Structures are given as structure tokens and as C-alpha cells.
Amino acid sequence: MRSLAEFIMRGPLQGALVAAAATASLFLAWLGAAAVALVVLRHGVNRATPVLLAALLPAAFWMYYGDIGPLTTVLCALVLAWVLRLSRSWSATLLATPFVVGSWCLLIVLLLPEYVETVRAVFEQVVEGIKQRMSQSGGDAELQALERIGAPSGLQIMGMLALLQA
């Protein structure tokens, strides 16, 4: 990892290359976010702009195709790295984390209601599949408990997604 960090810090082109390539892969999007955060910590947001834009391009691609995970990871890492750079305090950064993630979730609920509805529909399909298997296996008490829970709200769905991103 040290050699990768040194490569990222060689210049904006190298940082942008790593950020773009890593964010283009869903499995390595966290590495693209880490590259952005590293440059923000070292040089600030202004000098990190090329690296950020390089990471945002593939993140926007994935968002267009229905996965906001890379975008969430890059933007939250950017904001938290900026908080850490300004405050120079892990405590302040850790205290800011729920506010950053909560604000992001609220923005998604307000600005992307169709995304929230898509996630809710997928969640309901999963719950229906669980209910069918429970009714076939004779888990009546568990099935009744599942029926009492009801459908989650958009904010609850985004909370679950935020936990998955954490």
C-alpha cells in the first residue's frame, strides 16, 4: 500500500489514473475514494480537483446504471478527508461521520426518489421470497413477526444502504 500511496502522490496525473481505474471497478471503488482522500489530506481540495474529477467520472457511470455505491464512497471520503485536514482531529472527523452520511442519505431521498423506490422494490422482492420459504418450511411465528414489521420507508432504506457503505 505504501508504494501505491507514493505513486498516487507523485502528481495529479498518477493520482487521477489510480482514482479513475479503481473507481471504474465496483470492487475497488474504495481504493479510488482512498486516493482522493489521500490527495485532499496532503494538498487540499483545490489541488485534489483533478483526482476527484477522475474518480467522479466512473462513479457517475455506475450511478447511471443504478449503483450509487462508488459515488457515495468517493464523496463521503472527500468530505471526511477535508474535515480531517481542517480540524487535524480524529475525534472531530469521527463525530462528523454520521452527519456526513446522514446528510448524503437525506439528499438521496430528496433528489433521487426513483432510486429509493427501486431499492425498496428490490427489498420487498427479497422479503417476499423469505416469506414464501418461511411459509413452506412452517415458520409461522417468524412469518407473523415479519408481517408485523411492514414495508420500510425511504429513509429506512437509505439508512440500510448507509450501513452497508460504512
Same domain, 12 and 70: yes
What pLDDT is attached to residue 139? 67
Same domain, 24 and 93: yes
Same domain, 90 and 121: no
* Dist CA 122 CA 129 (whole Å): 11
Against a cut of 0.85, is the pTM above it? no
C-alpha cell at 84: 480531517
Same domain, 63 and 145: no
Percent of the residues in the chain that have a pLDDT greater than 70, as a whole number? 96
C-alpha cell at 68: 450509487
Name the pLDDT band for 13 (thresholds 50, 70, 90): very high
**Helices 140-149, 113-137: inter-axial angle, 10-degree rounding:** 160
Containing domain of residue 151, as a range? 113-166
* Of the candidates 68, 166, 58, the residue with the CA atom closest to the CA atom of residue 115: 68
**DSSP string covering 47-88:** HHHHHHHHHHHHHHHHHHTT--HHHHHHHHHHHHHHHHHHH-
Same domain, 133 and 54: no
Q: Is there a contact between 93 and 84 (Cβ–Cβ < 8 Å)? A: yes
Q: How many domains does the chain have?
A: 2
Neighbours of 3 (CB within 10 A): 7
Same domain, 107 and 117: no
* Of the candidates 128, 129, 133, the residue with the CA atom closest to the CA atom of residue 151: 128
* Dist CA 63 CA 38 (whole Å): 23
pLDDT tens for residues 79-124?
Answer: 999 999 999 999 999 999 989 988 888 888 888 888 888 888 888 8
Same domain, 102 and 159: no
Same domain, 54 and 127: no
Same domain, 34 and 63: yes
Same domain, 36 and 77: yes
Same domain, 55 and 123: no
